[in-house]
Homo-oligomer: A and B are copies of this chain.
Amino acid sequence: MRYRTFRLHILRSTTALVLATSTFGAAARADEGMWTMDNLPTRQLKQRYGFTPSAEWISRVTQASARLTLGCSASFVSADGLVMTNHHCANECLAELSPKGENWFQNGFSSKGQASEPQCPAMELDRLDRITDVTATMGKALAGQQGAAYSQAQKAAEAGIQKDCVAGDPTHWRCDVVTLYHGGRTALYRYKRYQDVRLVFAPDQNAAFFGGDPDNFNFPRYDLDLTFLRAYENGHPAKVTYFPFDAEGPKDGQLVFTSGNPGSTSREEPVAQLQLTRDLELPSTYGYLSTLDGVLWQYGRQGAQQTQDAQDMLFGVENSLKVYAGWLQTLADPAMMATKQKYETGLRAWIDADPARKATYGDPWTKLGSALDKERALNVRYTMIEGGPRGNPRGFQSDLFHYAKILVRGAAERAKPDAQRLSAFHDANLPAVEDALKSPAPVHADLDRTLLAFSLTRLRQALGADDATVHQVLGQDSPDIRANTLVDGSKLADPAVRMALWTGGQAAIDASTDPMIVLVRTIEPTARALRDQWDNDIVSVQRQTSETISKARFARDGAGSYPDATFTQRLSFGVVKGWNENGKQVPAFTTFAGLYDRATGSDPFRLTQPWIDAKPHLDMKTKFDFASTNDIIGGNSGSPVIDARGHAVGLIFDGNIHSLGGDFVYDGSQNRAVAVDTSAILAALRTVYKNQAVADELVKGHL
Where the two chains meet, the residues of A that have a C-beta atom closer than 8 Å to any C-beta of B are 211, 213-215, 218, 279-280, 283, 286-288, 290-299, 301-302, 321, 325, 328, 332, 450, 453-454, 457, 460-461, 464-465, 474-478, 480-481, 598, 600-605
On whether the beta carbons of A450 and B301 are closer than 8 Å, the reply is: yes
Q: A280-B332, A476-B602, A605-B465 are in contact. Are A460 and B214 (CB under 8 A)?
A: yes
A294 contact from B298, B474, B603, Cβ within 8 A:
B298
On whether the beta carbons of B481 and A450 are closer than 8 Å, the reply is: no
Distance in Å: Cβ of A535 to nearest Cβ of chain B: 24
Distance in Å: Cβ of A463 to nearest Cβ of chain B: 9
The CA-CA distance from A297 to B453 in the complex, in Å, is 11
The CA-CA distance from A255 to B474 in the complex, in Å, is 41
Chain B residues lying within 8 Å of A332, measured Cβ to Cβ, are 279-280
On whether the beta carbons of A454 and B600 are closer than 8 Å, the reply is: no
The CA-CA distance from A604 to B290 in the complex, in Å, is 23
Distance in Å: Cβ of A584 to nearest Cβ of chain B: 12
On whether the beta carbons of A218 and B464 are closer than 8 Å, the reply is: yes
A602 contact from B291, B477, B605, Cβ within 8 A:
B477
Distance in Å: Cβ of A213 to nearest Cβ of chain B: 6
- Other A-B contacts than A290-B294, A477-B602, 15 sampled, CB-CB below 8 A, are A211-B465, A214-B460, A214-B461, A215-B465, A218-B464, A290-B293, A292-B294, A294-B297, A294-B454, A295-B297, A297-B454, A298-B299, A302-B302, A465-B598, A465-B605
Closest residue of chain B to A477 (Cβ to Cβ) is B602
Chain B residues lying within 8 Å of A603, measured Cβ to Cβ, are 478
9 contacts between A and B (CB under 8 A): A213-B461, A214-B461, A293-B294, A294-B454, A295-B298, A465-B605, A475-B600, A477-B602, A481-B602
The CA-CA distance from A217 to B453 in the complex, in Å, is 22
On whether the beta carbons of B287 and A325 are closer than 8 Å, the reply is: yes
Distance in Å: Cβ of A270 to nearest Cβ of chain B: 16
Distance in Å: Cβ of A151 to nearest Cβ of chain B: 27
The CA-CA distance from A2 to B63 in the complex, in Å, is 61
Most buried by B among A287, A454, A600: A287
Chain B residues lying within 8 Å of A453, measured Cβ to Cβ, are 301
The CA-CA distance from A214 to B478 in the complex, in Å, is 12
Closest residue of chain B to A459 (Cβ to Cβ) is B214
The CA-CA distance from A474 to B598 in the complex, in Å, is 14
Chain B residues lying within 8 Å of A288, measured Cβ to Cβ, are 290
The CA-CA distance from A293 to B215 in the complex, in Å, is 24
On whether the beta carbons of B480 and A301 are closer than 8 Å, the reply is: yes
Chain B residues lying within 8 Å of A296, measured Cβ to Cβ, are 294
Distance in Å: Cβ of A658 to nearest Cβ of chain B: 14
Closest residue of chain B to A605 (Cβ to Cβ) is B465
Distance in Å: Cβ of A301 to nearest Cβ of chain B: 7
